[in-house]
Structure 1
Amino acid sequence: MTDKLKTEGKFTYVEEGEGPAIIVLHGLMGTLSNFKETFNHFSSNGYKVLIPELPLYSLPLLKTNVKNLALFLKEFMEFKNIDSAILLGNSLGGHIALYFTKHYQQKVDALVLTGSSGLYEKAMGDSFPKRGNYEYIEQKTKSVFYDPAIGTKEMVDDVFKIVNDRNSVIRTLAIAKSAIRHNMAKDLPAMKLPTCIIWGKQDAVTPPEVADDFHKLLPNSDLFWIDKCGHAAMMERPEEFNTILHKWFTDRNI
């Protein structure tokens, strides 16, 4: 998807399609390409899909947190003249979508959460991986998926590069601490908008009980399971993910 990247001002993003806007928010170790199949499907089927690169490693350290990433999303929407949008987030991206919704619910038409943080944080396990330990990084990266083969060498190399860069490590830890501070449990019952929760049954990062809790706390939510699937359903089982979401949009008239 790098061939479709646009850079305008401080925003780098991909955009395609016409119709209601879907803004996709990637996770802490995620990239735009994680959503390639979802981007292609919905941009070809009546939606305008935008995926901004989140400034996870470029914000000032004191502003590297969930709150300021949500403000970045607000600025991006204003820059693109989007009054309201469907927000689709995976992992940290889901958390950003939830925090944004807490403060700007009128700007959100619907939420789509998959492997979202916001209630339970275990993204890096009990400790941050030791710098230089490639085998550990490889094991951690592959464990995100039900099928470890999804964790390609290119993906492992990207994560390895992040954890061996001091600037990236400091900001990754800052975001992780911020995610724990901004637990959304008390805020979810006030979010009345339609919410689609799509979860991998074998998600080891945000386990199935997290999806159940989101479903219980979000008053207008529907929960769908994908079997033989880990933390990134839109990447590991894209056809099933897209089918579930497209039907939900149709049923909910979104």
Structure 2
Amino acid sequence: MRVNDIDVAYDDKGGGTPVLLVHGHPFNRSMWRPQVERFSEVYRFIVPDLRGYGETRLPVDETGAVPDKTPLSAFADDLVALLDGLGLERVVLGGLSMGGQIAMEVHRAHPDRISAMILADTSPEADTPAGRRTRRAVAERLLREGLAPYADEVLDKMITPRNVRDLPEVAAHVLRMMRGTSPGGAAAALRGRAERPDYAESLAEVSVPVLVVVGAEDEYTPVEVVRDMHAVIPGSTLAIIDGAGHLPNLERPEAFNEVVGRFLAEVL
């Protein structure tokens, strides 16, 4: 679908209450396959590729150049425009990692479009100065080297080392997603993400049901960080997925789906 200045690739499966899931970095919409397969007989699942990821390209200007920075607000505006194009006023909005922060940005700017939220392995804090420098340095590295060396380096942080060994199909899927991501898209997102605001204040004003999920062994967003976010969000529900790192929806899909299914059944 053409939204704003890009053609958004997305899957739209099932019927009933719409659920929009936002992938993390540096992945694509296929990361949500276990959830779409599990729930699309009960709910309508919409899973897009963000601009610069998967099959959704960055916009190109009249000179053929692409933006060097994609702020979270641009991703959020794309999602709202996608909902408009689909004729949807409100959705359950979920996201993992960067996708969770994009969901927070949608809530900050367009709270009326959300009926419930699922925030997985994510945190609301703005980057520190050191964090901003690191993201910008990684962006330069990805442009210089491509995604393959980075993907190999971070695989056992995205999923636990044990799951790299014991779940080879999951590990291969995660590697394919990372290696297949556009360096320009990933770099632009990293630069934009480095400038994100702190979402704690807007999360404290959430008035819809929220499920907060985290892998028990997540190195990027440790359990204690996610517990702090849970404490900020009024009435939120916290679920910790044992045996999983940063991608519990892929590492422990049965446990993740059970938690999500219970939450959706209770709030919808």
User: Equivalent of 1:177, from 176, 182, 194?
Assistant: 194
Q: When the two structures are superposed, what TM-score results if normalisation uses the length of structure 1?
A: 0.85
| Equivalent residue number for residue 34 of structure 1 | 31
Between the aligned partners of 1:176 and 1:243, the Cα distance in structure 2 is: 31
> CA contact under 8 A between 2:21 and 2:94: conserved in structure 1?
yes
Q: Deviations over 1:148-169 (max 9, x none)?
A: 2456346435534547x4x345
Cα RMSD (Å): 2.7
1:176 Cα shift?
3.0
Please give the secondary structure, in 2, of the residue aligned with 1:95: helix
> CA contact under 8 A between 1:64 and 1:174: conserved in structure 2?
yes
Q: When the two structures are superposed, what TM-score results if normalisation uses the length of structure 2?
A: 0.80
1:143 Cα shift?
1.6
User: Equivalent of 1:187, from 202, 207, 220?
Assistant: 202
Between the aligned partners of 1:61 and 1:40, the Cα distance in structure 2 is: 34
1:134 Cα shift?
5.1
User: Equivalent of 1:102, from 108, 131, 152?
Assistant: 108
Percent identity of the aligned residues? 22
Matched, 1:53 2:49: yes
> CA contact under 8 A between 1:120 and 1:210: conserved in structure 2?
no
Matched, 1:141 2:155: yes
1:85 Cα shift?
0.3
Between the aligned partners of 2:46 and 2:224, the Cα distance in structure 1 is: 30
Pair 153,232 (structure 1): closer, same or farther in 2 beyond 3 Å: closer
> CA contact under 8 A between 1:66 and 1:182: conserved in structure 2?
no
- Paired AA for residue 23 in structure 2: H
User: Equivalent of 2:18, from 16, 21, 46?
Assistant: 21
More displaced, 141-150 or 75-84? 141-150
Between the aligned partners of 1:244 and 1:133, the Cα distance in structure 2 is: 32
1:80 Cα shift?
0.2
User: Equivalent of 1:222, from 237, 240, 245?
Assistant: 237
> CA contact under 8 A between 2:11 and 2:46: conserved in structure 1?
yes
What stretches of structure 1 move > 6 A for 4+ residues in a row? Answer: 122-126
Please give the secondary structure, in 2, of the residue aligned with 1:191: coil
| Equivalent residue number for residue 76 of structure 2 | 70
> CA contact under 8 A between 2:25 and 2:186: conserved in structure 1?
no
| Unpaired runs of at least 5, structure 2 | 60-65
Pair 224,124 (structure 1): closer, same or farther in 2 beyond 3 Å: farther
> CA contact under 8 A between 1:27 and 1:93: conserved in structure 2?
yes
1:231 Cα shift?
0.7
Between the aligned partners of 1:154 and 1:247, the Cα distance in structure 2 is: 27
1:192 Cα shift?
1.6
More displaced, 195-204 or 184-193? 184-193
Pair 142,84 (structure 1): closer, same or farther in 2 beyond 3 Å: same
Q: Number of residues paired by the alignment?
A: 242
